[in-house]
Structure 1
Amino acid sequence: MRKRIALLAACGLLAIGTAAVPANAAEPVFPLVGPSALELPLPVDGSGAREQRLSITLDHPATGAPFAGLFTVDLRKVAGVATVRDHASDSSHQCTEKDGELLCAYKGLPVSLELDVAAAKGAAKGATGEITVTGKVPGATVTPLTTKVSVGGPDLVMREMKLKKDLRPGESQPMPLVFANEGTQAAKGVVLELGTTRGMELVETYDNCRTRTAGDLTTVLCSVEGDFVPGAAYELAGDSPLHIKATAHAYDDVLRYGIYPAGDEPKAAASSGKARAGRKLGVSPAKSAPAAPGLRASDLNPGDNRREFAFHTENTADFTTSPVSLKGKAGDTLSTAFVFENKGPAWIHAANPADSLARTVVVVPEGAKVTGKPQECLAVDADGTKRAEQLGAPRYECALGNRVSENEKVVYPFDLLIEKVVEDAKGSVTVGDWGTSAPRPHAFDPNAGDNTAAVVINAKGGTGTGPSPSPSTSGSPSPTPSASVSASASASPTAKASTAGTGTTAQGGNLASTGSTVGPIAVGAAALVAAGGALYVAVRRRGVRG
């Protein structure tokens, strides 16, 4: 409740009752806080009037002690204009109606009063009234609150745009944007909202628009001045068109577009971002409408303010992995890392946010035992059956998350103990779709040949790296700025992770992190990404990850 009241206050919609001079100067004064105005929609098509919530809070010090008091809601000045009732689900107070008043006994925390208000049967458009709330609290003076109630208001409706769904990278198309005011009052100023996911972008920029990017969504809010009258529809002005374009990394993307009375736009986007440089975006009437005075008011039906359109761009994303070659003696513990990489050009996200977009499956070479692994990788038997014991399994399945950027790498660090030396012991690492037994290439992946790579321990001919002569005890060294790092048996025992493209992401293990939508950014030991060939590193460890 306090967050909601703070938000209303930030928008200049709160009214605090004029403080009366207390009888006792030492007695504290607690104001009632709530909206100064409330617009009520008229009944539509013979149905009952839709109720609006009126929330009122007593502004008092946060002592933690429960409050007890009596609040009186005067309904006499809204007779014939609105009906008011106690909100049924709020059990913190009990209200009874008597002589045109609601008497509400209150006890507990937080101190709030929830009322449902609707236009009265037969109320005329434009009818107004007032609801005044007073209160009594032992040991304090409560200042009253008056909320002006009016029947009718603006109701901005965003029309559905007819757009081309199937695109090619670089293709753009005009946005035939139209909205209407189907309410009973004019809106003084509107805000147009345009939100695009990572693969789509707006071509034009305007100086009355501001932009905010959060994660994979970029939101543009354009403020347009003027009176937008009831019964009128509006479209983009001829000198300020809008086009939407599929970028080089588009695949499955979304456009969200909406219209709001000025002051009712999404606050998260409105509170930050910067104006785009360029011409001024404007709108013009799409059909004639009667003139009406402009009144700033809340939208009567916010549910029809926003729409969404899904695009599919003909594009590909190349999911790859890298080979690993190690060598060691019986008893050696080798630290290495298995890599998933999206070489693009498209970014990919799962349709369901709870789904894993892809998996990396590691088959452990003969003679080796996993003694450390990231949390994202789960142990399974050779046939794919899940195991309770997470160390020492013959196979591991590593979840990716629900999205991956173009040119992004994800690193899964592992520790392997050589229990028995087997010459040319071979395993594998495979990335792909979440199949029943083994990952299969995604439909968007044009190159299945690089989805699987070999994992070899003690290869014939002696290639590969062994444990460092003096093991490191550092779990999270600082990152290297280089795009790739290589290692050898004589290299420094403290390995450093690398970044490439839009970033390298480490999953679990002893790596430090700064956060990512698919996992922490790799900045720690045991993750070496070779840009042109095999990825490998071998370091003896004293501890066990799991």
Structure 2
Amino acid sequence: MGATALAAAGVQGAAHAAEAPLPVVITGEDRVDLSLHSDNGDPTEPQVDLRIDVPGEEFEGDGEVPSVHRGEYTIRIDARGLRGVAKADLPCEADGLVAVCTGYDLYAGTTFNRVGGIRLDLSDDSEAGDTGKIVVTGEGESLDFTPLTVDVRVGGPELLNRELSAPDGLKAGDDFELPLGVMNVGGLPAEGTVLRLLGSRGLSFPDAYGNCSSSEINTGDLLRQRTEVLCTFPGTLDAGAAYRLSRQVRVQTADFALNDIFSYSFDPLEPGEEKKIHRGEGRRQGSGPDLTLERVADADPARYTEYAELDLPRTNTYDLELTGASASGEAGEKVEVEIGFRNNGPAWIGGLRSGGEPFTFTVAPPAGATFTRTPERCTPAGVNGSDPAYLCFAPTPMLEDARLTFPFELRVDRVVEGAKGRVALPDWDNPYDSDPANDVAWIVLNAAEEPGDDGTGGSDGGPSDDPTAPGSGDGDGSGGDADDEGTGSASGGGSGDDADGGLALTGAQGVGLLGGAAVLALGLGAAVVAYQRRRAGRDGEAAV
């Protein structure tokens, strides 16, 4: 692709030169507030990421990225407006507070057009209320640059939130009230503030205050389903002062709620932002009395934090159940079996901190049989086919009534009457699984005639044969054509695959078991904590 694409890009660039300059935009954060009370983030990380935005569709394929313009250009970063305000660490060739970056190729979009980062820190002369700016411009033949101005402010309003503590004895289905508050630890007053309440899928806010508006996302990706409430307060929050809400905020938990995330935060209200907030698409304005803020005397700054959130309720349970299957076949015959995985509730399994970390379980073939086709989300458990068992992945988030099926194909290499293959969740101490007895099931081949007991249901009983013994005959226990179909994906979700080596998903709201690598997009600001390892050290709960 390289030479041809570049040649085509050169023609495209020439066309731009002949017709009109190519419009490009310098992008990056246009405002940075520097705190007088913190290190302003990781000292090695820039607050401004400069890029160039070029018209066109970004390249997403393999191979060399085609350019849409070829020709020298320069980017000039002028930070002289920060003298006496802040220190600036500039990219490229810098001479004091001015830096010049050069380039040749430009690509569609911004991904491949990074200029560099700007790191800002307090200087010895920095004082509350100081302001300055950085001006970034560009020039190049046949290019029309839109410049960027970065406004920098020192010691402006800086709002911290009153710490939260979990209510005692809270159960799923209960509602509870939380005392919320804010302290302005910045150097300047905040002329108005906005309160943001966020609750994941199992939480809601039943009260509708007049100065608040709400929105809900209750379809699509389960990780992103949430309720958001925004409340605006036009009054002044003095520097160094603390405030509390005139009444406690009520939060309702659903019957299926478990380790759902509640968070809140106060932020300065920008001029003209109030109407935009409440008139946003899909927002519902409250009709009740207004919430107000009351000043608090002698507030302890140690009780206020940047991030205020809770995982609750912690006392609900779910019931994971595996179901097996039975089949009969002669030597050399292939048979199909379907393993079931379901959540009997009452709780859903959010996996919100891990962004959808899956549950795993193992499936071993019965003695005398070999797997010849396996589901997409199952992968060989051993190394180089040394173990005939498979490791399967059940994605989270998982609805409270989720039903999944995992279809397998087996070849009967030799007939072993009543041969059993074990299907099992890990041997764990999971405090949320209410019935560990159904965490094991069996694949039974050529069962003896014993009415009412084929050994396929969830059970902790054992088979008469070694359930993990590899098949004999010409099978090698490596899973047949699983290499073509089994991806072993450890991420959850999707809309379900067909029964041809796929994973079928059913449940409430259609197929909604969507996982992925993204953490719950609620702006919670928390570190990613794997759900199955949830806070074992802090809470004393066993790892899942």
- Cα distance per residue 1:353-396 (max 9 Å; x no partner): 3996644333433333221112433445xxxxx25228xx6544
Unmatched 5+ stretches in structure 1: 1-24, 290-302, 381-385, 465-506, 532-546
Tell me the residue number matched to 1:389: 385
Distance 1:323-1:52 versus aligned 2 partners, 3 A rule:
closer
Hey, what does 1:517 align to over in structure 2? 492
Q: Match for 2:264: what amino acid?
A: Y
| Deviation larger for 102-111 or 269-278 | 269-278
Q: For residue 446 of structure 2, what is the aligned residue in structure 1?
A: 458
Per-residue deviation, 1:352? 7.3
Distance 1:277-1:367 versus aligned 2 partners, 3 A rule: farther
Counting only pairs closer than 5 Å after superposition, residues 264-343 of structure 1 correspond to structure 2 as 274-276=282-284, 278-279=286-287, 282-287=290-295, 304-343=305-344
Match of 2:400 among 398, 402, 406: 406
Alpha carbons of 1:360 and 1:394: their partners in 2 closer, same or farther (altered >3 Å)?
same
After superposition, the Cα gap between the structure-2 partners of 1:332 and 1:68, relative to the gap in structure 1 and judged at 3 Å, is same
1:249 to 252, 256, 273: 256
Code of the aligned partner of 2:160? V
CA drift of 1:315 comes to 2.7
Given residue 94 of structure 1, which amino acid in structure 2 is its aligned partner? E
| SS of equivalent residue, structure 2 residue 323 | coil
| Residue 94 (structure 1) shift | 0.2
1:125 aligns with 2:128: yes
Identify the residue that residue 11 of structure 1 maps to in structure 2.
none
Pick from 413, 420, 423 the counterpart of residue 427 of structure 1: 420
Cα 1:259–1:459 change in 2 (3 A) is same
Name structure 2 gaps, 5 residues minimum: 1-18, 56-66, 107-112, 298-303, 453-481, 507-544
1:51 and 1:445 mapped to 2: Cα distance?
42
- Alpha carbons 1:84, 1:115 under 8 Å: kept: no
Equivalent pair of 1:51/1:118 in contact (CA under 8 Å): no
Q: How many residues matched? A: 418
Aligned residue type for 1:258: S
| Per-residue deviation, 1:337 | 0.7
Greater Rg over alpha carbons, structure: 1
Structure 1 residues 441 and 453: alpha-carbon distance in aligned structure 2, compared to 1, 3 A threshold: farther
**Structure 1 residue 409: deviation in Å?**
1.8
Secondary structure at the counterpart of residue 337 of structure 1: strand
**Inter-partner Cα distance in structure 1 for 2:503 and 2:187:** 65
1:277-297 deviations in whole A, cap 9, x for unaligned?
6435844233179xxxxxxxx
Which letter does structure 1 place at the counterpart of 2:244?
A: E
Q: Match of 2:361?
A: 360
Distance 1:326 1:215 in 2: 36
Deviation at 1:346, TM superposition (A): 1.6
Deviations 1:438-489 (A, max 9, x none): xx5743333344333443333334989xxxxxxxxxxxxxxxxxxxxxxxxx
Deviations 1:153-197 (A, max 9, x none): 211111112331652222221011111222233444433333334
Tell me the secondary structure at the aligned position of residue 216 of structure 1. helix
1:171 to 171, 174, 177: 174
CA distance in 2: counterparts of 1:288 and 1:331, whole angstroms: 80
**Percent identity among equivalent residues?**
23
Residue 183, structure 1, aligned to residue 177, structure 2: no
Matches of 2:74 and 2:194, distance apart in 1: 42
More helix by share: 2
Which of 157, 162, 175 is the aligned partner of 1:154?
157
Which residue matches 1:104?
100
Q: Residue 259 of structure 1: which of 262, 266, 271 is its match?
A: 266
Partners of 1:128 and 1:148 within 8 A in 2: yes
How big is the shift at 1:216? 3.4
Aligned to 1:230: 238
Q: Any idea what SS the aligned residue of 1:286 has?
A: strand
Q: Give 2:347's aligned residue.
A: 346
Residues 1:519 and 1:57: Cα distance change in structure 2 (over 3 Å)? closer
Per-residue CA distance 1:268-323 (angstroms, 9 max, x = gap): x999973246435844233179xxxxxxxxxxxxx954222233432332222234
The SS at the match of 1:68 is strand
Q: How far 1:122 sits from its partner (Å)? A: 3.8
